[in-house]
Amino acid sequence: MVDLSAPTSAPLATAPSRTEAGPSGRKPRRSISRANIFLYGTLIVFALYYLLPLYVMIVTSLKGMPEIRMGNIFSPPMEITFEPWAKAWSTACTGLNCDGLSRGFWNSVQILIPSVVLSIAVASVNGYALANWRFKGADTFFTILIFGAFIPYQVMLYPIVILLREMGLYGSLTGLVLVHTVFGMPILTLLFRNYFTSMPEELFKAARVDGAGFWGIYFKIMLPMSLPIFVVAIILQVTGIWNDFLFGVIYTRPDLYPMTVQLNNIVNSVQGVKEYNVNMAATILTGLVPLTIYFISGKLFVRGIAAGAVKG
């Protein structure tokens, strides 16, 4: 489009320009400078390294077995098939049964929901008690708890087996939920304690003057004001528990195995012909839940791991 009209707004009484010859205005920069090539080049190379496995997973899962045997793993599928996905979901064999990942998926869901709810409920109340209702000895227990987060799980594995067996929960989903609650406690308690500590103390004092008690303040004041930290905690726990392998394999029975264990059993089962496309479809399926959470939550996920990690 060509603008034929005269300039619509001539500046009123423009002062004569004072600028002289020579450099003026923005410093000219070549966008393709050596520094930029290095900068973006390095970033792109690394981005490729990080993206490669995701790409290979997807591509492989969409190919048929003959094409996999013929071609290379990086080439896109010539003929897209969703067969491997269907098989991975419902008929892949683990050596024990042949109902695919679906069983593991539903097991994981059954483990995930109560574990997340229970661990966050316990840890948030606990963090609140530590932040606002300090009592003698609280700090000692808290320090032990935090140090506990660094103790290798292996040291506690067997004693927990004994405890669960005594309670009659060994091999059950309830037992695994308890284990997740216990091991989620250090990081979550820390998270909540720090968050509640950072809230203005006057708020808490005002509520106490108004006659609210321990639970009243928690439910009516703290809870509504700490939605973001609950979201962070949920992200942290959902990815953590979904990705767990060790506790799942130790504290449940084969028919209750979570998805990660089921996946490993399908892919690394020694029986039968290896179906790489089914394996990759199964792998993506297992990674889908945490990946979805990651891509949806974005900044909160970063905040969650930073909060969990830096102070842990």
Binders of other proteins in range 78-117 (CB under 8 A): none
Among 78, 98, 151, 206, binds other proteins (CB under 8 A): 151
Toward other proteins, which CB reaches closer, 4 or 23?
A: 23
Contact assessment for residue 97 and residue 269, using Cβ atoms and an 8 Å cutoff: no
Task: Provide the minimum distance between the beta carbon of 8 and other proteins in the complex, in angstroms, as a whole number.
Answer: 19
Q: Closer CB to other proteins, residue 89 or residue 245?
A: 245
Q: Does residue 156 touch other proteins according to CB under 8 A?
A: yes
Applying the rule CB under 8 A, the residues between 130 and 149 that interact with other proteins are 130, 133-135, 138, 141-142, 144-145, 147-148
Contact (Cβ atoms closer than 8 angstroms) between residue 93 and residue 272: yes
Closest CB to other proteins among 7 and 298?
Answer: 298
Nearer to other proteins, 4 or 35 (CB): 35
Closest among 108, 84, 194 to 146, alpha carbons compared: 194
Q: Does 56 bind other proteins (CB under 8 A)?
A: yes
Cβ atoms of 127 and 245 within 8 Å: the answer is no
The interface with other proteins within residues 217-246 (CB under 8 A) comprises: 239, 242-246
Q: Which is nearer to other proteins, 50 or 272 (CB)?
A: 50
Options 90-98, 196-204, 222-230, 290-298: segment touching other proteins (CB under 8 A): 290-298
Nearest residue (CB) to other proteins, 119 versus 229:
119
Of 12-51, which residues contact other proteins (CB under 8 A)? 17-20, 22-28, 39-40, 42-43, 46-47, 49-51
Question: Which of 3, 4, 10, 295 lies at the binding interface for other proteins (CB under 8 A)?
Answer: 295
Of 4 and 150, nearer to other proteins (C-beta) is: 150
Return the range that interacts with other proteins (CB under 8 A); candidates 91-99, 198-206, 220-228, 293-301.
293-301
Would you count residue 9 as binding other proteins (CB under 8 A)? no
Q: Does 60 bind other proteins (CB under 8 A)?
A: yes
Residue 132 CB, nearest distance to other proteins (Å)? 8
* 187 binding other proteins? (CB under 8 A): no
Residue nearer to other proteins on the CB measure, 229 or 239: 239
CB 229 within 8 A of CB 144: no
Q: Report the Cα–Cα distance between both ends of the chain, in Å, rounded.
A: 60
